[in-house]
Amino acid sequence: MSSQIDHLLDESRSFPPSEEFTAQSIDDPALYERAAADREGFWGDQARENITWHKPFSRVLDWSNPPFAKWFDDGKLNVAYNCLDRHVEAGLGDRVALLWEGEPGDERRITYAELTEEVKRAANVLTDLGIGQGDRVAIYLPMIPEAIVSMLAVARLGAIHSVVFGGFSADSLRSRIDDAGAKVVITADGGYRKGKVSALKPAVDQALADRNGEGEQQTVEHVLVVKRGGNDVDWNDERDIWWHDAVPAASAEHEAQAFPSENPLFILYTSGTTGKPKGILHTSGGYLTQAAYTHKYVFDLHPETDVFWCTADIGWVTGHSYVTYGPLANGATQVLFEGTPDSPHPGRWWELVQKYGVTILYTAPTAIRSFMKLGRQIPQKFDLSSLRLLGSVGEPINPEAWMWYREVIGAGKTPIVDTWWQTETGAIMVSPLPGITATKPGSAQVPIPGISIDVTDDDGNEVGNGNGGLLVITEPWPSMLRGIWGDPERFKETYWEKFEDQGYYFAGDGARLDEDGDLWLLGRVDDVMNVSGHRLSTTEIESSLVAHEATAEAAVVGASDETTGQAVVAFVIIKQSYLDAHSPEGLTALLRSWVGEQIGPIARPRDVYIVPELPKTRSGKIMRRLLRDVAEGREVGDVTTLADTLVMSTISSQVK
């Protein structure tokens, strides 16, 4: 890995924006100047320019009790009003908000006026179900317009949504519902995936069923169900309500109330270094300000003419900030797609770009690498000439994939913005501005105006250009997480304790600054893996493996993978009784599908190796570094701290 990184850091290609691009761009060097001169004043300007406040704020930032920030805290706003009503009031009601396409090819075009009306009706339904300010609503839906309607209806009421990715299992859903104490769940019978209906409601039923343990409280009173898949579902008359019965019958009158800027907007669970996912909490005014501001300038948005497409699912933060909140706050027109890139044919995405005239495409390196593998002849069958800007997010993009993206998808001329950020940061933090920055393949480059980033050593000292270290954020920012739901201590420990003296936020990413001061992201420095741009915790998968009767012990590592960035590789010790009764192939298949059921298919290990022992230090700590060497087919590193130095040769021989 490190030799590969050194190779990447030799990257000397640079692509300044074309004159034509710069001439039409809204990006202005004055943004950097203004932010550098008066950071808080700059954010105050952004909050006033991009957001409509029911009650103006008088103070930008209250950082008197770090790390608990308050932004624009005496201001009041309604987040949904900002994404909907105000555009209609400005005469833009006929502008298309969503160009939706279902996987089977069905279509819906929804204008801002229609979307506003639908959200008002849904808000009235939720009110009737007892939802008000501060209540939690879990959303477990496919990528259908109702997903966005649901998020905005919850936001409109000052309530808090917790969107759970539809690919998560019933168990994962249940722990998220319970942790947040959700009162209502919004789901669908099923959604389309790779040509088939994949059921969702049964997982909700299962998540809400068989509660027998201590302290297991059933908080959910109602389940609102969208009919999408047409699959048969069980029905609980007391609890379940069809969306199509309730929403169209509800009143389309609903006046948005103003809520304080710091009113919670959503909880989104993400993997941390322990087995228990963290409920990342975001609030309203600051979050919406930075989501809208970054969507506007990083994507050089021209809302009258652009067709934006962010391919992320709303179950991830990218879908929150760049499908729902950023684009809609900015009055943009966007594509929303239910399906996968390769169904029913491997050119489906490019067909959609051609069909809808997509001008800005925002996706993940893992998708680009899988298209690269399939070959350029597939995208080349389609007219992609509408594209003028490409974006990347979720993991480091290697220069080869970056160049392919620009040449094959972007006809050798579109700028590429490689955007670094996290669920916790809420919105983009590091990225070129496409009308200004000369881009460099593989580097996310520079903090956006208003954001202060540094790379430090373990003690918080700046490493300076040409050196590597840890990525830190040195000043608070508007869309920063406000905490971990129900766990303020974990919030402090995870992000703020490491650099307590400096008051820096620790991102958990390694990074390097090159000689030009451009930032190169080097992946996680903790026990978090990044598989296809999705965060997974090694500990969570290990807990799932040992929860199976067959497993005595397990260790999981993220091994580099050509397509998915990293892949989950598990080393397990199997109990003798199981070894006697099953074949190794049977056992590995069993454990792979077990993890898939327990957490979700994305967590399923690529490889499961059955080993007699795990490498441990004398104090009993598993040395994952050595297992990663084996998983990546490298010579095993220094084993001298192992209690038993022969273990690694046994494991290596097992793996070969």
Residues of the binding site for CoA: 193-196, 318, 532
Q: Are 557 and 629 in contact (CB under 8 A)?
A: no
Phi first, then psi: give them for residue 47, nearest 5 degrees. -65, -35
**Residue 606 CA, distance from chain mean position:** 22
Angle between helices 39-50 and 285-298 (to 10 degrees): 90
Strands 222-226 and 184-188: parallel
Give the DSSP per-residue string, 478-506: TT---EETT-HHHHHHHHTSTTTTTTPEE
Q: CA angle 45-50-51, nearest 5°? A: 100
Q: Which residues are annotated as a binding site for Mg(2+)?
A: 546, 548
Least separation, in Å, of the C-beta of 422 and ligand WTA?
4
In 3D space, the residue among 450, 519, 441, 454 whose CA is nearest the CA of residue 478 turns out to be 450
Residue closer to ligand WTA (CB basis): 158 or 365: 365
Least separation, in Å, of the C-beta of 436 and ligand WTA?
18
Residue closer to ligand WTA (CB basis): 250 or 507: 507
Q: Which residues pair with 283 in a beta bridge?
A: 264
Least separation, in Å, of the C-beta of 526 and ligand WTA?
9
Residue closer to ligand WTA (CB basis): 602 or 639: 602
DSSP 472: E
Residue closer to ligand WTA (CB basis): 187 or 530: 530
Least separation, in Å, of the C-beta of 416 and ligand WTA?
11
Q: Which residues are annotated as a binding site for ATP?
A: 394-396, 418-423, 509, 524, 535
CA distances from 229 to 105, 348, 499 (A): 13, 20, 49
CA distances from 227 to 7, 186, 245, 297, 553 (A): 51, 11, 10, 37, 43
In 3D space, the residue among 130, 417, 179, 420 whose CA is nearest the CA of residue 279 turns out to be 179
Q: Are 151 and 179 in contact (CB under 8 A)?
A: no
Least separation, in Å, of the C-beta of 447 and ligand WTA?
13
Least separation, in Å, of the C-beta of 321 and ligand WTA?
8
Q: Are 542 and 498 in contact (CB under 8 A)?
A: no
Residue closer to ligand WTA (CB basis): 126 or 444: 444
Q: Are 479 and 450 in contact (CB under 8 A)?
A: no
Residue closer to ligand WTA (CB basis): 394 or 605: 394
Q: Are 151 and 324 in contact (CB under 8 A)?
A: yes
Judged by the rule CB under 6 A, the positions of this chain that interact with ligand WTA are: 270, 316-318, 393-396, 418-423, 444, 507-509, 521, 524, 530, 535
Residue closer to ligand WTA (CB basis): 261 or 324: 324
Q: Are 509 and 520 in contact (CB under 8 A)?
A: no
Residue 416: Cβ within 10 Å count: 22
In 3D space, the residue among 84, 26, 19, 30 whose CA is nearest the CA of residue 306 turns out to be 26
Residue closer to ligand WTA (CB basis): 519 or 550: 519
Q: Which residues are annotated as a binding site?
A: 193-196, 318, 394-396, 418-423, 509, 524, 532, 535, 546, 548
Least separation, in Å, of the C-beta of 444 and ligand WTA?
5
Least separation, in Å, of the C-beta of 349 and ligand WTA?
20
Residue closer to ligand WTA (CB basis): 397 or 623: 397
**7 sits in which H/E element:** helix 2-9
Least separation, in Å, of the C-beta of 428 and ligand WTA?
8
Q: What is the Cα–Cα distance from 610 to 574, expressed in whole angstroms? A: 7
